[in-house]
Amino acid sequence: MKIRTLFLTAIGATALAAPLAAQDFIAGLPREDTLIIQGPAAQNADWFNLWAPGGGASPNGNQQLSADTLWFINPEGSGDDAWQNALAASRPIYNDDFTQMTVELKDGIFWSDGEPFTAEDVVYTVETQMANPGMNWSAPFTINVESVEAPDDHTVVFNLNAPNSRFHTLFTVRWNAAWIMPEHVFSQVEDPLTATFNPPVSLSAYVLENYDANGQWAIWRLRDDWERTSIGMTLDEAPEVEYVVYRTAGNPDARVIEQLNHNLDVINDIAPEGMFTIVEQAGDTTAQWLPGFPFAHPDPTLPSVLLNNQLDKLSDPRVRWALALLIDIRAVSMGSYRGAANIAALSVPPTGSAIPDYYVPMQDWLIDYELDTGEGTIQPYNPDIAEQIAQLVTPQWGDSIPEDPELRKEMFGFGWWQQDAEAAAALLRSAGFTEQGDGWLTPEGEPFEMTLQVEGDNIPTLARAGTIIAQQWSLNGIPTEVVVAGPTHTQRLDVGDYEAAIFWTVETWGGHPDLSFFLESYHSDFLVPLGESQPPRNLNRWQNDELDAIIEENRTVPFDSPRVAELGMEYLQLAVEEMPFIPLMAYNKFAPFDTTYWTGYPSIENPYSASGPFWSNIRYMVVELEKTGG
């Protein structure tokens, strides 16, 4: 009796004490003035030096709210509106042969400690990093810059080692860029590689208020002199967001709960199932990039089936095309994203300016494209396949799928390759492969088998996509084993230690048709033998003379020339013909916004800013949000 009484008393006391111990979610910050964003954990929370690898979490607000540089490109935008002059007063000015770039800087910008921002800060940024190998932008500056000078406080002149029409992109933010260092701070430290830059001196509208020594959160406060910053100058009145909290919010399930509890306004990414839960349970207090299903935000990256072009069995475009034609993209979309994927047949992500610049104008070419299988020709492109996916999910999400066919294309994609096992078999036969039983022999007489490498649980949607594709290849006579590589995934891709893999080797500006962002590294000059580290992007190890010619011409064309998009189309057509890798879809992220306290989030209807919490462009969203009074 006594034991039972004691036991029940203990449980009762705990139940009573718990509510008494309850505290405000964040000490000392009015919730209605505070925007809470999912951030990454900082391994070394004391580190705010963005210019040296120190284990700090640069995307915990440091690069989004405090740092600044010359220009930004809105990855969601298109045309002139996507370009934003930040610290620079105008676009970059090159001489005729692109060996010199002049930058005009805005006047009236100050660091948060009251020091004026001048051209000397830019010169110091470049010279200091060149003098300290190991700093984050040391290598590109060393390769490109012969000298840098400041004729006056608001002009910087870069003299380059060789012609480079894209040099300004080092200072142009997509996700990040070379941030400007405060000369008056770093000139006082002994070693810029080991200086923590704590507390950071801000060049943008927010300044560090407090942070967790364990790297769980960082709080940023609106500067009193916010109007003396590049972003502040664009505003008519003070931003309503007084505090921004970047916090780690736990595992994906916990993030869903935190947003449903109104403790997390902006989520970076959750599983599709989590997104659907939020929409179903809190649709009235939730906003997202797409107004209806699939609710996702497509990043300007392109998950694809990478094919190792340097392997004999994958060196023939006919074999690569055969593998593409064995994929049923509808099953991949349903199985990986439960239909919430934005499929892509072209080798650029179907986002931002790529829609008007490439996807829309190239539809006719894709529909008319003829593929010679060796035993005849087929027109492999099915422009209705995304619509078929929309039909598949309609029974569950009917009301939230818009009728507008144009909007549907931005949600589900345009078209993709029609699965065609007969054409794939014809291609393999024409490439010298022979059928044996249910399988195939290579021209060398070896069984044609594949491995398909995925990272694993870290990106579950892509791991699922890889598993489904492996099943489809296996069912069509090419036994395929899924290899889960975990943290060694990118390293194995780097050295060509794979046959096929799910990853992305194409990333674009999003808001600009120029493809040099990834394409420059596809030049054959940078190709290395198997076993050696391939520079990022061309992990397919694709080599093609026509491709080289496109890249070389792109280097000589001004960034904003109409020729840039033409060259982009030439690359895309070549990529269809050669199929060096098989583009699958945009990297859809499920990033819902809680509208309990804040409204005015960007969306596909009003893409004024990036919405991804880790993207530096999100600063343009933070200053535009409005209070709901919630």
Partner 1 sequence: MNTLTAYILRRLGQFVFVIFTGVTLAFLITNLSPVDPVEQSLTQLTSFGASDPRAVELMRESLAELYGLQGNLFEQYVNFWGRVLRADFGPSLSAFPTPVITLIANAAPWTIGLLVTSILITFVLGNLIGALAGYFRRSRFLKVLGMVIMTINPIPHYFIGLILLIFLGFVFPIFPISGGAQMNRPSGFDLGYVLSVLYHGFLPALSLVLAGLGGWFIGMRSLVSNVVTDDHVLYAELAGVKGRKIFSQYVARNAMLPQMTGLAMQLGQIFGGTVIVEFLFNYPGMGRLLIQGIYRGDYSLVLGVTTISIFAVAFAVLLIDILYPLIDPRVKLG
The string of DSSP letters for 526-547 reads G---TTSPPPSS-TT----HHH
What distance lies between CA 43 and its chain's CA centroid?
22
The answer to whether 261 contacts partner 1 (rule: CB under 8 A) is yes
Residue entry with tokens 């003035």:
33
Q: Which stretch binds partner 1 (CB under 8 A): 382-390, 441-449, 515-523, 570-578?
A: 515-523
The string of DSSP letters for 575-625 reads HHHH-SEEE-B-EEEB--EETTTEE---BTTB--S---TTSGGGHHHHTT-
Provide, rounded to whole angstroms, the least separation between the CB of residue 73 and partner 1.
11
The answer to whether 402 contacts partner 1 (rule: CB under 8 A) is no
The answer to whether 134 contacts partner 1 (rule: CB under 8 A) is yes
The answer to whether 133 contacts partner 1 (rule: CB under 8 A) is yes
Report the distance separating Cα 102 and Cα 149, nearest Å.
10
The answer to whether 484 contacts partner 1 (rule: CB under 8 A) is no
Provide, rounded to whole angstroms, the least separation between the CB of residue 195 and partner 1.
10
The answer to whether 462 contacts partner 1 (rule: CB under 8 A) is no
Provide, rounded to whole angstroms, the least separation between the CB of residue 559 and partner 1.
12
Residue 4 or 437 with smaller CB distance to partner 1: 4
Binders of partner 1 among residues 558 to 587 (CB under 8 A) are none
Provide, rounded to whole angstroms, the least separation between the CB of residue 437 and partner 1.
36
Q: Which of 99, 100, 102, 136 binds partner 1 (CB under 8 A)?
A: 136
Beta bridge partners of 133: 135
Provide, rounded to whole angstroms, the least separation between the CB of residue 231 and partner 1.
20
Instruction: Dump strand ranges (E) for 317-456.
Output: 371-372, 377-378, 381-382, 416-417, 434-436, 439-441, 450-454
The answer to whether 286 contacts partner 1 (rule: CB under 8 A) is no
The answer to whether 138 contacts partner 1 (rule: CB under 8 A) is yes
Max CA pair span of the chain: 94
CB 570 within 8 Å of CB 547: no
Q: Which of 100, 115, 140, 233 binds partner 1 (CB under 8 A)?
A: 140
Tell me, residue by residue from 54 to 93, as one string, x for binding to partner 1 by CB under 8 A and - for no binding. xxx-------------------------------------
Q: Residue 461: how many CB atoms within 10 A of its CB?
A: 23
Q: Which two tokens stand for residue 589?
A: 């992220």
Report the distance separating Cα 543 and Cα 564, nearest Å.
21
Residue 118 or 301 with smaller CB distance to partner 1: 301
The answer to whether 31 contacts partner 1 (rule: CB under 8 A) is no
The answer to whether 396 contacts partner 1 (rule: CB under 8 A) is no
Provide, rounded to whole angstroms, the least separation between the CB of residue 76 and partner 1.
16
Binders of partner 1 among residues 153 to 192 (CB under 8 A) are 166, 169-170, 174-177
Tell me, residue by residue from 521 to 560, as one string, x for binding to partner 1 by CB under 8 A and - for no binding. x-x-xx------x-xxx-----------------------
Provide the b/e sequence for 478-501 (b: ≥16 CB within 10 Å): bbbebbebeeebeeebbebebbbb
CB 533 within 8 Å of CB 494: yes
Q: Amino acid letter at 132? A: N
The answer to whether 210 contacts partner 1 (rule: CB under 8 A) is yes
481 backbone dihedrals φ, ψ, rounded to 5°:
-105, 130
Provide, rounded to whole angstroms, the least separation between the CB of residue 43 and partner 1.
5
Going by their DSSP bridges, the two strands 71-73 and 172-173 should be labelled as: parallel
The answer to whether 430 contacts partner 1 (rule: CB under 8 A) is no
CB 302 within 8 Å of CB 586: yes
Residue 7 or 149 with smaller CB distance to partner 1: 7
Provide, rounded to whole angstroms, the least separation between the CB of residue 539 and partner 1.
11
The answer to whether 16 contacts partner 1 (rule: CB under 8 A) is no
The answer to whether 23 contacts partner 1 (rule: CB under 8 A) is yes
Report the distance separating Cα 587 and Cα 455, nearest Å.
15
